[in-house]
Amino acid sequence: MFDLPSPDAGLREPNLAEAERLMTVCNSCRYCEGLCAVFPAMELRRAFTDGDLQYLANLCHSCGACYHDCQFSPPHEFDVNVPAVLAKVRNDSYEAHAWPAALRPLFRRHGAALAVGVALAAALFLAGFVVAGDPGALWSAHRSPDLFYALMPHSAMTALFGTAFAWMLFAVFMGARSFWKATGASVDGLALGRAGHDAATLRYLDGGGVGCMNEGEEPDDTRRLWHHFTFYGFLLCLASTSVATVYHYVFDRPAPYPLWDLPKILGVLGGIGLVIGPIGLLRAKARRFPDLLDPRFRGMEVGFLAILLLTGASGLALVSLRSTPLLGPLLALHLGAVLALFLSMPYGKFVHGLYRYLALARWRREDPSRG
Ligand code: SF4
Ligand code: SF4
Protein backbone atom coordinates (compact mmCIF):
# COMPACT_ATOMS: atom_id res chain seq x y z
CA MET A 1 0.00 0.00 0.00
CA PHE A 2 1.22 3.50 -0.88
CA ASP A 3 1.00 5.28 2.49
CA LEU A 4 2.36 8.73 3.06
CA PRO A 5 2.33 10.80 6.25
CA SER A 6 -0.38 13.42 6.50
CA PRO A 7 -0.35 16.49 8.73
CA ASP A 8 -3.80 15.40 9.93
CA ALA A 9 -3.02 11.68 10.06
CA GLY A 10 -5.27 9.93 12.54
CA LEU A 11 -7.54 12.97 12.84
CA ARG A 12 -9.18 12.97 9.46
CA GLU A 13 -12.49 11.49 8.50
CA PRO A 14 -11.68 8.23 6.59
CA ASN A 15 -12.94 9.33 3.15
CA LEU A 16 -10.92 12.56 3.35
CA ALA A 17 -7.87 10.61 4.53
CA GLU A 18 -8.22 8.20 1.58
CA ALA A 19 -8.68 11.11 -0.85
CA GLU A 20 -5.53 12.71 0.49
CA ARG A 21 -3.62 9.43 0.04
CA LEU A 22 -4.82 9.12 -3.56
CA MET A 23 -4.02 12.74 -4.40
CA THR A 24 -0.51 12.19 -3.06
CA VAL A 25 -0.09 9.10 -5.25
CA CYS A 26 -1.50 10.92 -8.28
CA ASN A 27 0.72 13.93 -7.64
CA SER A 28 3.73 11.65 -7.99
CA CYS A 29 2.36 9.94 -11.09
CA ARG A 30 0.56 12.73 -13.05
CA TYR A 31 -0.36 10.39 -15.89
CA CYS A 32 -3.96 11.67 -15.92
CA GLU A 33 -3.25 15.40 -15.96
CA GLY A 34 -4.90 15.92 -19.38
CA LEU A 35 -8.19 14.23 -18.49
CA CYS A 36 -9.97 16.95 -16.50
CA ALA A 37 -9.42 19.91 -14.14
CA VAL A 38 -8.96 17.75 -11.02
CA PHE A 39 -5.39 16.72 -11.80
CA PRO A 40 -3.98 20.16 -12.79
CA ALA A 41 -5.67 21.65 -9.70
CA MET A 42 -4.13 18.88 -7.58
CA GLU A 43 -0.68 19.61 -9.05
CA LEU A 44 -0.80 23.15 -7.62
CA ARG A 45 -0.66 21.64 -4.12
CA ARG A 46 1.75 19.58 -2.04
CA ALA A 47 -0.56 19.29 0.98
CA PHE A 48 -4.35 19.06 1.02
CA THR A 49 -6.66 20.64 3.56
CA ASP A 50 -10.18 19.25 4.03
CA GLY A 51 -11.46 22.21 2.00
CA ASP A 52 -8.97 21.45 -0.83
CA LEU A 53 -10.18 17.86 -0.99
CA GLN A 54 -13.83 18.94 -1.07
CA TYR A 55 -12.96 21.39 -3.83
CA LEU A 56 -11.21 18.68 -5.90
CA ALA A 57 -14.07 16.24 -5.24
CA ASN A 58 -16.61 18.73 -6.58
CA LEU A 59 -14.45 19.44 -9.63
CA CYS A 60 -14.67 15.73 -10.50
CA HIS A 61 -17.52 14.90 -12.92
CA SER A 62 -17.19 11.18 -12.24
CA CYS A 63 -16.48 10.28 -15.89
CA GLY A 64 -14.43 7.27 -14.76
CA ALA A 65 -11.60 7.81 -17.27
CA CYS A 66 -8.86 8.02 -14.63
CA TYR A 67 -9.97 4.70 -13.11
CA HIS A 68 -9.81 2.89 -16.44
CA ASP A 69 -6.49 4.52 -17.41
CA CYS A 70 -4.80 3.94 -14.05
CA GLN A 71 -2.04 1.34 -13.75
CA PHE A 72 -2.55 1.38 -9.97
CA SER A 73 -6.31 0.70 -9.88
CA PRO A 74 -7.49 -2.54 -8.18
CA PRO A 75 -6.29 -5.26 -7.96
CA HIS A 76 -3.00 -3.32 -7.74
CA GLU A 77 -1.91 -2.98 -4.12
CA PHE A 78 -2.01 0.85 -4.35
CA ASP A 79 -5.80 0.45 -4.75
CA VAL A 80 -6.24 3.76 -6.61
CA ASN A 81 -9.89 4.50 -7.40
CA VAL A 82 -10.10 8.27 -7.74
CA PRO A 83 -13.73 8.52 -9.02
CA ALA A 84 -15.18 6.43 -6.17
CA VAL A 85 -13.23 8.17 -3.41
CA LEU A 86 -13.95 11.64 -4.77
CA ALA A 87 -17.64 10.67 -5.09
CA LYS A 88 -17.65 9.80 -1.38
CA VAL A 89 -15.94 13.05 -0.39
CA ARG A 90 -18.31 14.97 -2.69
CA ASN A 91 -21.42 13.38 -1.19
CA ASP A 92 -20.07 13.94 2.32
CA SER A 93 -19.53 17.61 1.44
CA TYR A 94 -23.22 18.03 0.49
CA GLU A 95 -24.16 16.69 3.91
CA ALA A 96 -21.50 18.64 5.83
CA HIS A 97 -22.53 22.04 4.47
CA ALA A 98 -26.32 21.65 4.44
CA TRP A 99 -28.38 24.11 6.42
CA PRO A 100 -29.87 23.70 8.99
CA ALA A 101 -27.66 20.99 10.49
CA ALA A 102 -30.66 19.14 11.96
CA LEU A 103 -31.83 18.25 8.41
CA ARG A 104 -28.48 16.81 7.23
CA PRO A 105 -29.58 13.17 7.82
CA LEU A 106 -32.10 13.66 4.97
CA PHE A 107 -29.29 13.16 2.43
CA ARG A 108 -28.99 9.50 3.40
CA ARG A 109 -32.76 8.98 3.55
CA HIS A 110 -33.53 11.09 0.54
CA GLY A 111 -35.31 8.47 -1.58
CA ALA A 112 -37.62 7.31 1.21
CA ALA A 113 -38.26 10.88 2.41
CA LEU A 114 -39.18 11.95 -1.13
CA ALA A 115 -41.57 9.03 -1.67
CA VAL A 116 -43.36 9.79 1.62
CA GLY A 117 -43.29 13.55 0.87
CA VAL A 118 -44.87 13.22 -2.58
CA ALA A 119 -47.58 10.82 -1.37
CA LEU A 120 -48.39 13.02 1.62
CA ALA A 121 -48.38 16.28 -0.32
CA ALA A 122 -50.54 14.86 -3.16
CA ALA A 123 -53.04 13.46 -0.62
CA LEU A 124 -53.16 16.80 1.21
CA PHE A 125 -53.76 18.69 -2.04
CA LEU A 126 -56.59 16.30 -2.93
CA ALA A 127 -58.12 16.75 0.53
CA GLY A 128 -57.68 20.52 0.22
CA PHE A 129 -59.45 20.56 -3.16
CA VAL A 130 -62.43 18.78 -1.57
CA VAL A 131 -62.57 20.74 1.67
CA ALA A 132 -61.63 24.27 0.60
CA GLY A 133 -62.37 24.28 -3.16
CA ASP A 134 -65.33 23.18 -5.21
CA PRO A 135 -65.73 19.41 -4.46
CA GLY A 136 -67.80 18.94 -7.62
CA ALA A 137 -64.98 20.36 -9.74
CA LEU A 138 -62.64 17.57 -8.62
CA TRP A 139 -64.40 14.77 -10.48
CA SER A 140 -65.94 16.58 -13.44
CA ALA A 141 -64.61 17.38 -16.91
CA HIS A 142 -63.11 20.89 -17.03
CA ARG A 143 -63.73 23.22 -19.92
CA SER A 144 -63.71 26.52 -18.09
CA PRO A 145 -60.68 28.81 -18.39
CA ASP A 146 -60.56 28.88 -14.57
CA LEU A 147 -60.06 25.13 -14.35
CA PHE A 148 -57.06 25.08 -11.96
CA TYR A 149 -58.36 27.85 -9.75
CA ALA A 150 -61.76 26.17 -9.20
CA LEU A 151 -59.73 23.56 -7.32
CA MET A 152 -57.20 25.79 -5.59
CA PRO A 153 -57.29 29.60 -5.57
CA HIS A 154 -54.35 31.34 -7.25
CA SER A 155 -53.57 33.27 -4.05
CA ALA A 156 -53.28 30.02 -2.05
CA MET A 157 -51.04 28.46 -4.71
CA THR A 158 -48.80 31.54 -4.78
CA ALA A 159 -48.53 31.73 -0.98
CA LEU A 160 -47.71 28.02 -0.58
CA PHE A 161 -45.23 27.65 -3.45
CA GLY A 162 -43.72 31.11 -2.92
CA THR A 163 -42.93 30.17 0.70
CA ALA A 164 -41.51 26.75 -0.27
CA PHE A 165 -39.40 28.34 -3.03
CA ALA A 166 -38.07 31.06 -0.71
CA TRP A 167 -37.16 28.44 1.93
CA MET A 168 -35.40 26.36 -0.72
CA LEU A 169 -33.42 29.35 -2.02
CA PHE A 170 -32.34 30.41 1.47
CA ALA A 171 -31.30 26.90 2.57
CA VAL A 172 -29.39 26.32 -0.68
CA PHE A 173 -27.70 29.71 -0.33
CA MET A 174 -26.61 28.93 3.25
CA GLY A 175 -25.16 25.57 2.18
CA ALA A 176 -23.33 27.07 -0.80
CA ARG A 177 -21.97 29.88 1.39
CA SER A 178 -20.58 27.32 3.84
CA PHE A 179 -19.01 25.31 0.98
CA TRP A 180 -17.62 28.50 -0.59
CA LYS A 181 -15.94 29.53 2.68
CA ALA A 182 -14.62 26.03 3.49
CA THR A 183 -13.04 25.60 0.06
CA GLY A 184 -11.36 29.00 0.13
CA ALA A 185 -13.02 30.34 -2.98
CA SER A 186 -13.08 34.05 -3.75
CA VAL A 187 -15.08 36.22 -6.11
CA ASP A 188 -13.73 36.92 -9.58
CA GLY A 189 -16.13 38.00 -12.32
CA LEU A 190 -14.11 36.53 -15.19
CA ALA A 191 -13.71 33.19 -13.39
CA LEU A 192 -17.44 33.08 -12.58
CA GLY A 193 -18.27 33.70 -16.25
CA ARG A 194 -15.86 31.05 -17.55
CA ALA A 195 -17.06 28.58 -14.93
CA GLY A 196 -20.62 29.24 -16.13
CA HIS A 197 -19.57 28.20 -19.62
CA ASP A 198 -17.79 25.08 -18.31
CA ALA A 199 -20.85 24.11 -16.26
CA ALA A 200 -23.31 24.80 -19.09
CA THR A 201 -21.32 22.66 -21.54
CA LEU A 202 -20.27 20.00 -18.97
CA ARG A 203 -16.74 20.49 -20.23
CA TYR A 204 -15.15 17.91 -17.93
CA LEU A 205 -17.67 15.12 -18.39
CA ASP A 206 -15.92 13.85 -21.51
CA GLY A 207 -13.12 11.80 -19.93
CA GLY A 208 -10.48 13.85 -21.73
CA GLY A 209 -12.36 13.71 -25.05
CA VAL A 210 -13.51 10.11 -25.31
CA GLY A 211 -16.66 10.21 -23.16
CA CYS A 212 -17.83 8.54 -19.97
CA MET A 213 -16.91 5.04 -18.89
CA ASN A 214 -19.89 2.75 -18.29
CA GLU A 215 -20.10 -0.92 -17.46
CA GLY A 216 -17.81 -1.92 -20.34
CA GLU A 217 -14.46 -0.57 -21.53
CA GLU A 218 -16.12 1.45 -24.32
CA PRO A 219 -16.68 5.11 -23.41
CA ASP A 220 -19.59 7.15 -24.76
CA ASP A 221 -20.94 10.68 -24.46
CA THR A 222 -24.62 9.91 -23.79
CA ARG A 223 -24.44 10.84 -20.10
CA ARG A 224 -23.70 14.41 -21.09
CA LEU A 225 -26.66 14.39 -23.52
CA TRP A 226 -29.10 13.16 -20.81
CA HIS A 227 -27.69 15.64 -18.35
CA HIS A 228 -28.27 18.47 -20.84
CA PHE A 229 -31.90 17.38 -21.37
CA THR A 230 -32.42 17.39 -17.60
CA PHE A 231 -30.64 20.66 -16.83
CA TYR A 232 -32.12 22.68 -19.69
CA GLY A 233 -35.53 21.07 -19.16
CA PHE A 234 -35.44 22.29 -15.56
CA LEU A 235 -34.38 25.79 -16.66
CA LEU A 236 -37.17 25.92 -19.27
CA CYS A 237 -39.76 24.96 -16.64
CA LEU A 238 -38.40 27.69 -14.36
CA ALA A 239 -38.55 30.17 -17.26
CA SER A 240 -42.15 29.13 -18.00
CA THR A 241 -43.19 29.81 -14.39
CA SER A 242 -41.34 33.15 -14.36
CA VAL A 243 -42.95 34.33 -17.62
CA ALA A 244 -46.38 33.23 -16.35
CA THR A 245 -45.81 35.24 -13.14
CA VAL A 246 -44.97 38.35 -15.20
CA TYR A 247 -48.06 37.75 -17.38
CA HIS A 248 -50.24 37.43 -14.28
CA TYR A 249 -48.98 40.35 -12.21
CA VAL A 250 -47.66 42.79 -14.82
CA PHE A 251 -50.01 42.23 -17.78
CA ASP A 252 -53.05 40.99 -15.85
CA ARG A 253 -53.15 37.83 -17.97
CA PRO A 254 -53.90 34.86 -15.67
CA ALA A 255 -53.37 31.22 -16.70
CA PRO A 256 -54.31 29.08 -18.54
CA TYR A 257 -52.43 30.09 -21.69
CA PRO A 258 -52.92 28.73 -25.21
CA LEU A 259 -50.46 26.20 -26.58
CA TRP A 260 -48.73 28.80 -28.78
CA ASP A 261 -48.09 31.24 -25.92
CA LEU A 262 -44.64 31.53 -24.33
CA PRO A 263 -45.34 30.04 -20.86
CA LYS A 264 -46.92 26.97 -22.47
CA ILE A 265 -44.20 26.53 -25.10
CA LEU A 266 -41.44 26.82 -22.47
CA GLY A 267 -43.33 24.55 -20.06
CA VAL A 268 -43.99 21.81 -22.63
CA LEU A 269 -40.39 21.85 -23.92
CA GLY A 270 -39.12 21.84 -20.31
CA GLY A 271 -41.45 18.97 -19.40
CA ILE A 272 -40.18 16.94 -22.36
CA GLY A 273 -36.60 17.58 -21.20
CA LEU A 274 -37.52 16.49 -17.66
CA VAL A 275 -38.89 13.21 -19.00
CA ILE A 276 -36.18 12.31 -21.53
CA GLY A 277 -33.20 13.47 -19.41
CA PRO A 278 -33.95 11.67 -16.12
CA ILE A 279 -34.92 8.44 -17.95
CA GLY A 280 -31.58 8.56 -19.80
CA LEU A 281 -29.65 9.31 -16.61
CA LEU A 282 -31.41 6.56 -14.66
CA ARG A 283 -30.54 4.12 -17.44
CA ALA A 284 -26.94 5.38 -17.55
CA LYS A 285 -26.72 5.00 -13.76
CA ALA A 286 -27.89 1.40 -13.99
CA ARG A 287 -25.18 0.71 -16.59
CA ARG A 288 -22.34 2.34 -14.66
CA PHE A 289 -19.46 0.30 -13.43
CA PRO A 290 -20.41 -0.27 -9.74
CA ASP A 291 -16.84 0.28 -8.52
CA LEU A 292 -17.14 3.97 -9.50
CA LEU A 293 -20.22 4.64 -7.37
CA ASP A 294 -20.88 5.59 -3.75
CA PRO A 295 -23.62 3.14 -2.68
CA ARG A 296 -24.38 5.10 0.50
CA PHE A 297 -26.12 7.84 -1.50
CA ARG A 298 -27.85 5.80 -4.20
CA GLY A 299 -31.30 6.77 -2.81
CA MET A 300 -30.36 10.46 -3.07
CA GLU A 301 -29.26 10.14 -6.70
CA VAL A 302 -32.15 7.98 -7.89
CA GLY A 303 -34.67 9.95 -5.81
CA PHE A 304 -33.70 13.28 -7.38
CA LEU A 305 -34.00 11.90 -10.91
CA ALA A 306 -37.31 10.22 -10.05
CA ILE A 307 -38.86 13.42 -8.66
CA LEU A 308 -37.73 15.40 -11.73
CA LEU A 309 -39.25 12.73 -13.96
CA LEU A 310 -42.52 12.73 -12.01
CA THR A 311 -42.67 16.55 -12.15
CA GLY A 312 -42.11 16.60 -15.92
CA ALA A 313 -44.43 13.68 -16.69
CA SER A 314 -47.29 14.93 -14.49
CA GLY A 315 -46.94 18.43 -15.98
CA LEU A 316 -47.21 17.07 -19.53
CA ALA A 317 -50.15 14.86 -18.51
CA LEU A 318 -51.90 17.96 -17.13
CA VAL A 319 -51.50 19.72 -20.49
CA SER A 320 -52.87 16.71 -22.40
CA LEU A 321 -55.70 15.71 -20.03
CA ARG A 322 -56.78 19.06 -18.61
CA SER A 323 -60.29 18.82 -20.08
CA THR A 324 -61.00 15.42 -18.54
CA PRO A 325 -62.11 14.35 -15.05
CA LEU A 326 -58.48 13.33 -14.42
CA LEU A 327 -57.50 16.98 -14.01
CA GLY A 328 -58.08 17.10 -10.23
CA PRO A 329 -56.04 13.99 -9.28
CA LEU A 330 -53.32 14.93 -11.80
CA LEU A 331 -53.10 18.46 -10.44
CA ALA A 332 -52.78 17.09 -6.89
CA LEU A 333 -49.99 14.74 -8.04
CA HIS A 334 -48.17 17.49 -9.96
CA LEU A 335 -48.40 20.03 -7.15
CA GLY A 336 -47.35 17.37 -4.63
CA ALA A 337 -44.30 16.50 -6.79
CA VAL A 338 -43.32 20.17 -7.23
CA LEU A 339 -43.71 20.90 -3.52
CA ALA A 340 -41.68 17.83 -2.54
CA LEU A 341 -39.06 18.80 -5.15
CA PHE A 342 -38.71 22.35 -3.78
CA LEU A 343 -38.54 21.26 -0.15
CA SER A 344 -36.03 18.48 -0.83
CA MET A 345 -33.68 20.44 -3.09
CA PRO A 346 -31.31 21.69 -0.32
CA TYR A 347 -30.99 18.10 1.00
CA GLY A 348 -30.35 16.14 -2.16
CA LYS A 349 -28.49 15.86 -5.44
CA PHE A 350 -29.68 19.27 -6.61
CA VAL A 351 -26.86 20.95 -4.65
CA HIS A 352 -24.25 19.23 -6.82
CA GLY A 353 -24.87 21.74 -9.60
CA LEU A 354 -24.11 24.69 -7.37
CA TYR A 355 -21.11 23.18 -5.59
CA ARG A 356 -19.64 22.05 -8.90
CA TYR A 357 -20.10 25.52 -10.32
CA LEU A 358 -18.31 27.06 -7.32
CA ALA A 359 -15.48 24.52 -7.67
CA LEU A 360 -15.19 25.33 -11.38
CA ALA A 361 -15.07 29.06 -10.53
CA ARG A 362 -12.21 28.44 -8.11
CA TRP A 363 -10.37 26.39 -10.72
CA ARG A 364 -10.87 29.06 -13.38
CA ARG A 365 -9.43 31.58 -10.94
CA GLU A 366 -6.33 29.58 -10.02
CA ASP A 367 -5.67 27.95 -13.41
CA PRO A 368 -2.08 28.99 -14.21
CA SER A 369 -2.82 28.94 -17.96
CA ARG A 370 -5.73 31.38 -17.77
CA GLY A 371 -5.44 34.38 -20.04
S1 SF4 B 1 -5.30 7.91 -11.32
FE2 SF4 B 1 -3.61 6.48 -11.48
S3 SF4 B 1 -2.68 6.86 -13.49
FE4 SF4 B 1 -3.98 8.62 -12.98
S5 SF4 B 1 -2.58 10.09 -12.02
FE6 SF4 B 1 -3.53 8.88 -10.38
S7 SF4 B 1 -2.08 7.21 -10.01
FE8 SF4 B 1 -1.57 8.10 -12.00
S1 SF4 C 1 -13.43 10.55 -12.84
FE2 SF4 C 1 -13.12 11.88 -14.62
S3 SF4 C 1 -13.56 13.94 -13.86
FE4 SF4 C 1 -13.19 12.63 -12.05
S5 SF4 C 1 -11.02 12.84 -11.58
FE6 SF4 C 1 -11.24 11.06 -12.93
S7 SF4 C 1 -10.91 11.86 -15.02
FE8 SF4 C 1 -11.33 13.61 -13.67
pLDDT of 371 reads 62
Check pocket membership of 42 for ligand 2, CB cut-off 6 A: no
pLDDT of 307 reads 95
pLDDT of 33 reads 93
Residue 212, SS3 per DSSP = strand
Averaged pLDDT score across all residues of the chain: 90
Lowest-confidence range among 3-17, 73-87, 211-225?
3-17
> CA-CA distance, 156 to 307, in Å (whole number)?
23
pLDDT in tens, 304-340: 999 999 999 999 999 998 888 888 889 999 999 999 9
Pocket test for ligand 2, best of 53, 60, 224, 292 (most atoms within 8 A of CB): 60
Q: How far from chain centre, in Å, is Cα 95?
A: 14
How remote is the CA of residue 84 from the centroid of ligand 2, in Å? Answer: 10
Q: Which residues lie with the beta carbon below 6 Å from any ligand 1 atom?
A: 25-26, 29-32, 66, 69-72, 80, 82
pLDDT of 5 reads 45
Terminal-residue alpha carbon distance, the chain:
40
How remote is the CA of residue 35 from the centroid of ligand 2, in Å? Answer: 7
pLDDT in tens, 143-185: 565 667 778 888 888 999 999 999 999 999 999 999 999 998 7
> CA-CA distance, 366 to 357, in Å (whole number)?
14
Question: What DSSP character marks residue 187?
Answer: -
> CA-CA distance, 291 to 99, in Å (whole number)?
30
How remote is the CA of residue 66 from the centroid of ligand 2, in Å? Answer: 6
Contacts of 56 (CB under 8 A, 6+ apart): 19, 23, 38, 41, 42, 48, 86, 89, 359
Ligand nearest to the CA of 41: 2
Say if residues 349 and 304 touch (Cβ distance below 8 Å). Answer: yes
Ligand nearest to the CA of 212: 2
Say if residues 106 and 345 touch (Cβ distance below 8 Å). Answer: no
Contacts of 163 (CB under 8 A, 6+ apart): none
Q: What is the mean pLDDT of residues 298-309?
A: 95
